[in-house]
Amino acid sequence: MPEAQAITRELTIGEVISKTFDLYRHDFVKYLVVFLIVEAITGTLTTLLRSAVVLPTLPANATPQDTLNWLPGFFRALFYLVALSIIISLVVGTVATASAIKMASQEIEKGHADLGASVRFTISKLVWLWGLSIIVGVIVGLGVIALLVPGIILGIMFSLAIPVLLNENKGIVESMGRSRKLVDHRWLKSFALFIVFGIILVIAGFIAGLISAPFGFASSIVSSILSAFYTPLAPIALTIYYYSNVARINPPQMSQTPMAAASAVQPETKFCPRCGTQMASWASVCPKCGAQQSA
């Protein structure tokens, strides 16, 4: 990949979107392999979970007493289903997301992505990644429950915490603080960017749902596999946005080294009309080819 992938200034929303698709196209197979494996595992576990945890149905023409008897079992089964689904997503999905972020970071910094190295690095950071995901998830979830707007603000505030943890070798609390600093004064831009990618993913998910619906019992597996084709876009975009904000806060220093003196034409000189050699203006013979010089 060309060196031009480096991000040296803040990017516009359009540039972030364009660069996201450029990076994805460049290493499409590597991203797809990671998400295919992870999504296949997730889909299989989810299918097994839904077959093991069955939501009780309310009988037809149920009496008020039947409804009261049905509610505890329904909410208990629903709680297990949601909780276990979140655990599966957290444990397995974190590997794919963090690996994609690390590969995108390598593309930006080094010009190429190493799939094996990215996965190994992610696994070495799994405990920290799980801890960070749980803490941020709880904080944002409470914000959404209390009032939607605080939840959105908190989500934006800590949206870059995982790229920080992976690229800056910071702890959980430090990564959250650094993320807040990176998005500071860019709340509306961050929100707009996340809305755009949210719409893209929702549309792609809807199409995947239509395709997988005829597969019946295996629809969860098919849908998860199809999602491997579009879910890498989110972590790639997040990584690009992270580097964009890093460049905004800490722009790279331009080299102050002057151009070599030899590259400039010095005063009181001339060039040989035969070989082009530079020489003193008073010279009558070219020191290289021996040609006589006009006065």
Residue pair 191/152 in contact by the 8 Å Cβ criterion: yes
pLDDT at 218: 78
If you average pLDDT over residues 16-40, what whole number do you get? 91
In the numeric block, which tokens belong to residue 282?
């008073």
pLDDT in tens, 222-247: 888 898 899 999 999 999 999 999 99
Tell me the whole-structure pTM to 2 decimals. Answer: 0.74
Q: Which helix (H) or strand (E) holds 269?
A: strand 269-271
pLDDT at 262: 41
- pLDDT confidence of 257, banded at 50, 70, 90? very low
Is the pLDDT score of 163 beyond 80? yes
- pLDDT confidence of 82, banded at 50, 70, 90? confident
Q: Is 4 exposed, middle or buried (0-12, 13-18, 19+ CB in 10 A)?
A: exposed
Q: How far is CA 60 from CA 53, 78, 130, in A?
A: 22, 20, 43
Is the pLDDT score of 264 beyond 70? no
Is the pLDDT score of 256 beyond 60? no
If you average pLDDT over residues 32-45, what whole number do you get? 85
Is the pLDDT score of 64 beyond 80? yes
If you average pLDDT over residues 191-201, what whole number do you get? 94
280's CB contacts (< 8 A; 6+ apart) are 268, 269, 270
Quote the mean pLDDT of the chain.
84
Give the least confident one: 5-14, 153-162, 201-210: 5-14
If you average pLDDT over residues 252-276, what whole number do you get? 56
Compute the residue count for the chain: 295
